A and B are shown apart, each in its own frame.
Chain A
Amino acid sequence: MGIVHAKDLSESSKYQATKTIPKVNINYEECEETKELELNVPARVDKIHVEGLGRTKNDIVEDALKDIFTANTFQEVLHKTHTARQKLNSLSLFRNVSVHIDVSKGSKATKDGLEVTFQVKELKRVVGGVNTQIGNNNEGSLVVGLKAPNVFGRGERLQTEYSYGSRRSNNYSVNFIKPFMGKRNPVFTAGVYQHTSEWPSSGYKQLERGGLLDFGFNSHHLLKHNLQYDACIRDMGVISRNSSFDVREQSGSTLKSALRHILTIDLRDEPIFPSCGSLLQLTSEFAGVGGDVGFLKNDFYLQANYSLMEDFVLQGTLSGGFMHEIGDEKKINLCDMYYLGGPLSLRGFKTRGVGPQSDGDALGSLCYFSGGLHLYTPLPFRPGKGGFGELFRTHLFVNAGNVADTKSEDVVEQLKNNLRVSSGIGVAIRLGQMARVEINYCFPHKFEQDDRVQEGIQFGVGVQFV
């Protein structure tokens, strides 16, 4: 068997929105025979071998690989093989997938025929791990998890997790995830969870226990939908004797039974420091299908990035939410309200620092918006360029936001009056693939008398920032 080395003759044929095939360094002295093939040579795949299957069922593997047979040129073969390999990896069936393409041999071989061999190594029955995770409430946590991947052979997995957060929160969750075959990547998740958390800025602590059913799919390869049903029993209590009476009045147990739809369109080139593209996320939640909590919530998050010149990125973000009450019998609890303030939503203000409060405890609002204009630049003098320095960005920003009460008239008027504005400069540091840390020096410019302002250094950690 020889090694196939392909030379890309046509520079202009680069597929958009997909990554190029990674280049591999090949030592030519070790090859028995080298042959140069042009990429546009007509080729077709005669056979696909898959070695190493154990408990994985054949149909799901066939479904991922069947597209390869439609290739007509060599470049298409390479490209589709790469896509198939990515799909197999994403199904969490295997630990390792390696591909081997060779000229087709044997009695049934055609003139331009190729044989593709996938060598796969299945995942162990039970996999465990300890990692760290960043949550979106300015909290880092330690996660201990146990996963049983590929339980029935079609990519189903059962995972249990326990996490302990920096804000003394404890989470337990057990989830069962089943991906389905099909072009639209449908995935079904069912899980139960228990989550304790404390909110000193609002004076309460809560224990949530419930179950979640989630059905996710792509209606278009860029549009992801998630349909969820969430039933949760929340036990709320005051955090100390000094909590305000308004918070104490909401102590007790409530049952929230809600339907949720999340729409995500992510056109960015990368999630943490994107240089182009935009992200839109729309969430609608209707609570009131049973239980004693009822509301209709709509929120959105929009982010647009524009590259000014190399490594200088201008980013605009806008986030907002609007909540309706439903009838008199169902109530809205403190833990359902919108809170504005903090390094993730409005820099320059303490967490939950903007909005109505009682005795120093934030009570939340029914409507809010928050926007920002950011300029990301590499660190001055570019230390560690190409390596360590790429984890950092200097960050100049202007944030503005406001809250409103939807029960009274004219929400837009309320949002226009008493606008809160802040600006500042800081450093943003990438953490892994999903999160970042920000250390900013903030200057709040416009705020109300009751707001809790954070002038000076503010530290934030999270996944989604405004």
Chain B
Amino acid sequence: MQLWFQTPPAQRSILSVLIPVALLLVFCCLASLFYGAGEVGPIDVMALLMGGGSDDARFVVLELRLPRTLIGIFAGLSLGLAGALMQSVARNPLAEPGLLGVSSGSAFAVAIALVLGASTATLSIGLAQLGALLGCFCVMGVARMQGQRNDPIRLVLAGAALSSLLIAMTSLLLLYNERAADEIRFWVTGSIAGRNVDQLLSLLPSFVIALACVVYVARPLASLALGERVAIGLGYKPGRIRLIVVFAVALLVGAATAIAGPVMFVGLVVPFAARALVGPDIRRTLWLCLPIGPLVILTADVFSRLVAQPAEMPLGVLTAMVGAPVLLAIVRAHRLPTL
């Protein structure tokens, strides 16, 4: 009998990979509940789970760590799926919402809202999603301008330019508005701490719509990997497929950014890992992104609580520290994989 890691990625059965990764995720969720800054350690949490536990432990776990874990799962799901979709539609393993300015578009929209008087608590998600959508269109427009032979590096350069422009404009807005600056300072580095479950619930409708788009678009998107003409030959409409993908990406990234700030590199690392495990078929990659996305965010978040105790390191800093080397590794690789 052949073990799963001995077969080539594209020929493994999805479940043989999905189940171990999902178990790892469960383990990681528990770690996220058990560990953190503050007095409440694993033993107190165990006691709580057994039905006892102090009020302190109850508060820390249920009011702080649980929402944080749920939000981490949500942000991971969203960014992982969005990254896989973008990479597939751009045929570029480097296309990532964070790198390409989609997250910064979203953050910029949020910053405008803050300056105009909203507060992070009442922030409209729709606005973040609209910003993401505009970011998407800008960068995809640049990608289209390159024509048929698209050079992966150029798309990333264009995205980086757009991204820095938007970040600079965001900073400028905040310079002129101190209240907004205070509200946004922690948020803009990316964090899943200090949010509550209500905020998460308000994101659910758009998340469900985005998921429906993903389910609908997965098969056509897979055929688009065979080239635009083949996709047309099979009866699909590439323009419509791309539009649905961009829409779903904007919903996902906007929602994730609204609740966790512009977390970079997750959309790069997650599909990269998923492809390494199950090969490049987008339908398989998307399945694997489901557990890997939350896994990456939660792992980074648990570390972000532990490395700088008793303080915390912002999540976005950690994902960047993990993601940037992965980016360099992909670029340095012998050749970029064809998607």
Co-assembled chains A and B: no
Chain B interface residues toward A at CB < 8 A: none
Could you tell me which A residues sit within 8 Å of B by CB distance?
none
